[in-house]
Every structure is written in structure tokens, then in C-alpha cells.
């Protein structure tokens, strides 16, 4: 099943019970706008390079559209459509005033130089600057992009529209970025893990974790887990996987990777086959790399009791059904990795108000928002006797549907879960 089909599967599984009309359902499923552009740049060797860029704007009924920009060889319309839709549900669950979007450029950033990446980014902004903006659609970092990419976007966008740092989030602090943004997704994943473990009478400190991926999300997640006293027993990256039953020294690994570029050859652990990470002996599995890694092929072999989705779309619907049957609790991506977009929202608020927050304020507001979202999802899953993903989608869909109906874009009245009664 491809990414878009998988997202639709989860949408339909949740919307079944909501009593929504077919017309409204269609409005919520389809993206508002899909843009595809050709980016031609001069490569460092003097030849021309052509790349394809995408921006999919899924929904804006709750506010400007929001979502990352991915530079990766797998970026294609199916993928970006699915990721844009996930952003709509993610911002609704977090209850921040945004819709959802996603973009990407089909390229391999590891094979491009700094100046080539800069030219691709500026060429992309030249093509899409009219459809992005602080009140329209606000990009952010995702796989293969970072604060530097956002800085180039600010600069290029500002050439057309005047100084506008709030056109993107995840910027360097010097250009109006927020304290805590870079670590926010990983921090949020740990808050999500702590919440679900607490419900089961457990703590981070007495649990064993396996983390797939050591990029921005996986690395920060592992760091925060280790600082809470958890045992991180397995970690992987593009070069392979490593394990240590007594817990990997994550801080040493971070220094090692900063020097060597990958986890390969790290002395404090033993190498293990990369595909065995997902079925490693642990309490909590955190997929924090690519999508569609937990599938029919490996779902029955997963040994973790909890899966906390740091990545977007790591679990195929077939695997998800197996996890439900096996009693494995899956904390879904649209909640578990929402920390990044939540702190993006704080960054945007700080830009609009021209007022800086301190790191402790960012982190405590993030914690409060993650807990609120978790408690609402948990309550719904208890009332409806359903899994956390279905409850999360129900909460999100009902919020977006209500906004859509209230704005008059759709005539169907819609009964919203959890809406306070009048009077």
C-alpha cells in the first residue's frame, strides 16, 4: 500500500464512526492545491542540474497551512500528498491554529554541495513564493533540510516581499528562530512515551528503548531518553545498527557521530543487522527514520510492548492491524512527533509578536500541549474502545470538520466530539 492510500485507510477507519456526510468527507480528504515545479540550477562542475519540487497544501480551514520541506530521493507526489494530509491532522490534534501542507525536492542532499543546495532552495522559492507566506503556508525543516535551508528561504522570500522571517519556522536563532526548536520533535516524542508508559504504571527510567534513525528526531529522542535514565539498547542509522544490552552511552555516540559521520564502528556497542533493530528485544520501539518500515513482513516479530512513532507514516495499515490484535500499543505519528510543529507555532508567535521566549517557557508550554493532546486522545479511545491512532484521527477530523462547516465551506452540520454544550 502506498503512503497516500495508507493515510486514507486510517482516515476512513476513524471517520466511519463520526457520522460525517460523504461530501464533507471528500472535502477533508482531497488536497486544496498541488504544485509541481522544475528547478534548473548550475551545478558546481558547470553542468545543468534539473530537480522536481513539490508543495501540497492540504487544508486551511483552521488557519494557514503548515508543514516541512523534505529533500530526499524518494520524494514523489504520492508521498508528499500523504505527508501534507498528516500535517492537517497533526496541527488539529495539537490544537494549534494551522492547517496542513508538505513540500519536497526530489534530490539526494548527501550528493550535493552546500552551494548547490543553496541554489536549489532559492530556485524553489522563486517558483513558490506567491503561494507561501506567514498567513498562507509556512514551511519548516524536515528530512534533508535544516535551519540553514530555512535561512536561505527567508532571504530569497524577503527579496520579493520585504523582510519576512515568519515565512518559515525552524530558522537559526539569529534570524528569529526559537530556542528549543531543533530538539522539539525528539523532546515531544519523549513526552509522548512518558505519558503512555505512565498509563501502564511504568517509567522511562525503568524501560528499554530501541531507536531507528539517528538524524534530528532519533538523535534528540535518544539523548533525552538517556538523560531521563532510560536504557537505549539499540540504535540504527543509514550505515547500520548497534546494540548494547546495558544501554548505549548516547552522549559519547553523539560525539562519535559528529566526528565520524555515522554510528558505524562505535566502540561502546556491538554491530547488529540493521533490519533486526525493529524486532530488537526492548520495551519501547521508536521508529524515527523513514515511512513504511513496520509492515506485514515484520509486524509479527516486533517484541516491543509499545511503539512510539517519531517518523511520519512508519507503520503500514496491515502492520497496524496486527499490532492492535497483538495488544501492542502504538502511539501514532500525528500525536507522537507533533513537538516539532508545536514549537514551530511558538516560533511563529514570537515572530509575529516580536517577543522572544526563554527556553524554559518553550519547553513547559510544549509539555503542557503534548499532555493535553494525549489526555484527549486517551479519553476518546476509552469511550470508543478503539486504538490510539483511530482516536487521534477522530479528534483531528472532528476539529477540522467543525471549522470547515463553521466557515460555510460546507453546508452539512456536524456534531463535534467533545464540543462544549451551549448554555
- Report the interface residues with ligand GLU, using CB under 6 A: 66-68, 90, 140, 142, 169, 312, 337, 340-341, 344
Query: Under a CB-based contact definition with an 8 Å cutoff, are residues 198 and 275 in contact?
Result: no
Question: Nearest approach, Cβ of 174 to ligand GLU (angstroms)?
Answer: 19
In DSSP terms, which residues pair with 287 in a beta bridge? 212
* Complex with ligand GLU: residue 35 or 272, whichever CB lies closer: 35
Question: Nearest approach, Cβ of 169 to ligand GLU (angstroms)?
Answer: 5
Q: Is beta strand 329-331 parallel, antiparallel or unpaired with respect to 306-308? A: parallel
Please name which of 372, 210, 204 lies closest in space to residue 280, comparing C-alpha atoms: 210
Q: Distance between CA 226 and CA 228 in Å, rounded?
A: 5
Query: Under a CB-based contact definition with an 8 Å cutoff, are residues 390 and 3 in contact?
Result: no
* Complex with ligand GLU: residue 337 or 402, whichever CB lies closer: 337
Q: Distance between CA 399 and CA 414 in Å, rounded?
A: 10
Q: Distance between CA 370 and CA 364 in Å, rounded?
A: 10
Torsion of CA 166, 171, 172, 175, to 10 degrees: -20
Q: Distance between CA 324 and CA 245 in Å, rounded?
A: 27
Please name which of 224, 247, 227 lies closest in space to residue 235, comparing C-alpha atoms: 247
Question: Nearest approach, Cβ of 333 to ligand GLU (angstroms)?
Answer: 8
Question: Nearest approach, Cβ of 306 to ligand GLU (angstroms)?
Answer: 21
* Complex with ligand GLU: residue 85 or 118, whichever CB lies closer: 85
Question: Which residue of the set 66, 90, 102, 171 is catalytic?
Answer: 102
Contacts of 159 (CB under 8 A, 6+ apart): none
Question: Nearest approach, Cβ of 51 to ligand GLU (angstroms)?
Answer: 20
Active site residue 202: no
Q: Distance between CA 77 and CA 70 in Å, rounded?
A: 12
Q: Region of 78 please: left (phi>0), alpha (psi -120 to 50) or beta.
A: alpha
* Complex with ligand GLU: residue 142 or 283, whichever CB lies closer: 142
CA angle 106, 108, 113 (to 5 degrees): 120
* Complex with ligand GLU: residue 82 or 243, whichever CB lies closer: 82
Half-sphere exposure of 88 (CA within 13 A, CB side): 31
Q: Distance between CA 88 and CA 393 in Å, rounded?
A: 10
* Complex with ligand GLU: residue 341 or 403, whichever CB lies closer: 341
Question: Nearest approach, Cβ of 185 to ligand GLU (angstroms)?
Answer: 7
**Nearest to ligand GLU by Cβ — which residue?**
68
Question: Nearest approach, Cβ of 82 to ligand GLU (angstroms)?
Answer: 12
Q: Distance between CA 205 and CA 4 in Å, rounded?
A: 37
* Complex with ligand GLU: residue 204 or 334, whichever CB lies closer: 334
Q: Distance between CA 388 and CA 382 in Å, rounded?
A: 9
In DSSP terms, which residues pair with 137 in a beta bridge? 65, 133
The residues that are catalytic are: 102
Amino acid at each position: 500500500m502506498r503512503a497516500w492510500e495508507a493515510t486514507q485507510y486510517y482516515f476512513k477507519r476513524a471517520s466511519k464512526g463520526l457520522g460525517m456526510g460523504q461530501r464533507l468527507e471528500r472535502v477533508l480528504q482531497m488536497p486544496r492545491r498541488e504544485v509541481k515545479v522544475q528547478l534548473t540550477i548550475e551545478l558546481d562542475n558547470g553542468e545543468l542540474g534539473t530537480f522536481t519540487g513539490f508543495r501540497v497544501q492540504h487544508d486551511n480551514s483552521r488557519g494557514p497551512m503548515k508543514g516541512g520541506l523534505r529533500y530526499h530521493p524518494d520524494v514523489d507526489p504520492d508521498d508528499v500528498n500523504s505527508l501534507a494530509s498528516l500535517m492537517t491532522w497533526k496541527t488539529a490534534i495539537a490544537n494549534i491554529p494551522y492547517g496542513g501542507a508538505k513540500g519536497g525536492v526530489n534530490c539526494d542532499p548527501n550528493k550535493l554541495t552546500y552551494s548547490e543546495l543553496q541554489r536549489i532552495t532559492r530556485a524553489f522559492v522563486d517558483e513558490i513564493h506567491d503561494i507561501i507566506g506567514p498567513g498562507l503556508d509556512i514551511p519548516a525543516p524536515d528530512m534533508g533540510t535544516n535551519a540553514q535551508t530555512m535561512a536561505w528561504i527567508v532571504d530569497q522570500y524577503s527579496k520579493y516581499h520585504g523582510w519576512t522571517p515568519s515565512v518559515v519556522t525552524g530558522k537559526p536563532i539569529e534570524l528569529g528562530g526559537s530556542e528549543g526548536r531543533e530538539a522539539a520533535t525528539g523532546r515531544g516524542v519523549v513526552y509522548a512515551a512518558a505519558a503512555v508508559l505512565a498509563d501502564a504504571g511504568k517509567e522511562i527510567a525503568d524501560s528499554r528503548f530501541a531507536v531507528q534513525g539517528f538524524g534530528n528526531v532519533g538523535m534528540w529522542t535518544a539523548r533525552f531518553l538517556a538523560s531521563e535514565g532510560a536504557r537505549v539498547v539499540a540504535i540504527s542509522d543509514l550505515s547500520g545498527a548497534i546494540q548494547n544490552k546495558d544501554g548505549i552511552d548516547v552522549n559519547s555516540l553523539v560525539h562519535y557521530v559528529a566526528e565520524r559521520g555515522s554510528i558505524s564502528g562505535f566502540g561502546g556497542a556491538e554491530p547488529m543487522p540493521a533490519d533486526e533493530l525493529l524486532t530488537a528485544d526492548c520495551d519501547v520501539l521508536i521508529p524515527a527514520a523513514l515511512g513504511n518500515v513496520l509492515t506485514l513482513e515484520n509486524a509479527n516479530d516486533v517484541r516491543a510492548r509499545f511503539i512510539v512513532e517519531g517518523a511520519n507514516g512508519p507503520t503500514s495499515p496491515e502492520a497496524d492491524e496486527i499490532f492492535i490484535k497483538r495488544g501492542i500499543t502504538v502511539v501514532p505519528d500525528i500525536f507522537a512527533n507533533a513537538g516539532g510543529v508545536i514549537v514551530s507555532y511558538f516560533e511563529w508567535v514570537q515572530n509575529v509578536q516580536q517577543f522572544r521566549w526563554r527556553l524554559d517557557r518553550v519547553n513547559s508550554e510544549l509539555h503542557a500541549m503534548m499532555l493535553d493532546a494525549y489526555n484527549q486522545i486517551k479519553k476518546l479511545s476509552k469511550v470508543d474502545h478503539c486504538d490510539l491512532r483511530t482516536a487521534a484521527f477522530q479528534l483531528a477530523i472532528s476539529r477540522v470538520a467543525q471549522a470547515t462547516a463553521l466557515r460555510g465551506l460546507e453546508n452539512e452540520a456536524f456534531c463535534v466530539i467533545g464540543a462544549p454544550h451551549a448554555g
